[in-house]
Amino acid sequence: MTLEDLGWNDRFAAEFADCLQKGWVPARLIRDNKISYGAVIEGGDELEVSLGGSVYHAAETDAALPSVGDWVALEMGADENEYDAVIRARLERQTCLSRKAPGKGTEEQVIAANVDVVFVVTDAGQDFNERRMERYFEVMQRSGARSVALINKADLHPDELNQKAAAALRALNPDVEVVITSAVDRSGVAAIEHYLQAGVTIALIGSSGVGKSSLINQLIGQDWLWTGDVNAVTGKGTHTTTARELLCLQRGGMLIDNPGIREVHMWTDAKSLKASFADFDAIAAQCKFNDCKHGADKGCAVQAAISDGRLSRDRFINYLKLDYELERLKQRKKKHQITIGRRNRRELKSKSEKYSKKKEL
């Protein structure tokens, strides 16, 4: 595996010139263990590396600390006791998928660095919501990555409806490419693979249940290509507790799939869920009591609006479901953590199997 296979390019190389003089080695971060990082170097070996003090202290915000997807400069053998190498510098991010932390306007939370193409998955049916897609587009375009929208589950809807949804998204944002896909008949996989060339890093975001996992499973198949098994050689890093977040795919290209990416929809959805009831909030603000339950309460503006037809009863019922929907989003988060944990155990198992095979030889 060459550096180019991992996403290295001329711009990174130019920036790395000084580091090269110091004898440092370029590496891409593939997992964040909190106290250490997993990094891949030329050839595909994985190392467990620690963060150099000067990089840590130079970081003015959390967002400036190395993240999964970042390119870093490693000083090899600097830490004899525990890790193979120490991160001495982080190269400038060419793209950065991030969210603003809730509440604080300026604090940035980095989800993944150096993603080349971000796919947002939706469908022409239940999930389709232009306001929600606007929020996704905002996140994607802020990242600097190429933005592609996938209208998935095409097999479930008439072609007309799929085309109509595609046209609506193109009208919403002409910079976003739109592709109609299906994870079931695999037309979706071909569309994604078109973008997934060697050295290209992708990520999939989108609401719960739109088919992200199905598309990813089609891409990675049963098991993905392990970039290296240094653990079998050095025995180091076997206490790794988090899953690999950057996967190198057998067919070339890489996929970043981590809890942050799995959560993008939760804040996007929560925001758009709330926003879609802005008119309701305006009416409820007229209620006589602040804690009005909008039932039999006296002076309820909502009930008044329902009875004179300004507000539909369906919409009212949907509003009452809002809290439930937001709670459901939270539950999803738990489910994803379990999924990541399961993938991690599978990875460890595969590694130990490889290790024992080597021992036998």
Ligand X SMILES: Nc1nc2c(ncn2[C@@H]2O[C@H](COP(=O)(O)OP(=O)(O)OP(=O)(O)O)[C@@H](O)[C@H]2O)c(=O)[nH]1
Contact pick of 59, 76, 156, 232 for ligand X (by CB under 6 A): 156
Residue 248, marked binder: no
Contact pick of 294, 332, 336, 351 for Zn ion (by CB under 5 A): 294
- The residue type at 173: N
Token pair of 225, please?
């290509």
Residue 72, marked binder: no
Nearer to ligand X by Cβ, of 210 and 219: the residue is: 210
Q: Of the candidates 49, 56, 45, which has an alpha carbon nearest to the alpha carbon of residue 78?
A: 49
What's the 3-state SS for 339-353? HHHHHHHHHHHHHHH
Contact pick of 49, 97, 287, 305 for Zn ion (by CB under 5 A): 287
Compose the 215-254 pattern: x for residues touching ligand X by CB under 6 A, - for all others: ----------------------------------------
Token pair of 149, please?
């929208």
* Part in contact with ligand X (CB under 6 A); list of ranges 20-28, 76-84, 133-141, 182-190: 182-190
Nearer to ligand X by Cβ, of 129 and 213: the residue is: 213
294 binds, among ligand X, Zn ion, none (CB under 5 to 8 A by kind): Zn ion
Residue 207 C-beta: closest distance to ligand X, Å: 7
β-bridge pairing 37-41 and 46-51: antiparallel
31 binds, among ligand X, Zn ion, none (CB under 5 to 8 A by kind): none
Helix (H, G, I), strand (E, B) or coil at 164: helix
Token pair of 43, please?
């050839």
168 binds, among Zn ion, ligand X, none (CB under 5 to 8 A by kind): none
Question: Residues 214, 203, 152, 177: what is their CA dihedral angle, to the nearest 10 degrees?
Answer: -160
d(CA 215, CA 265): 16
Task: Give the DSSP letter of residue 290.
Answer: T
How far is C-alpha 170 from the chain's CA centre? 23
Contact pick of 28, 135, 157, 332 for ligand X (by CB under 6 A): 332
**By the rule CB under 5 A, 319 interacts with Zn ion:** no
Nearer to Zn ion by Cβ, of 174 and 295: the residue is: 295
**By the rule CB under 6 A, 122 interacts with ligand X:** no
Residue 77, marked binder: no
d(CA 238, CA 230): 10
Helix (H, G, I), strand (E, B) or coil at 105: coil
Q: Which residues bind ligand X (CB under 6 A)?
A: 152-153, 155-156, 182-184, 206, 208-214, 332
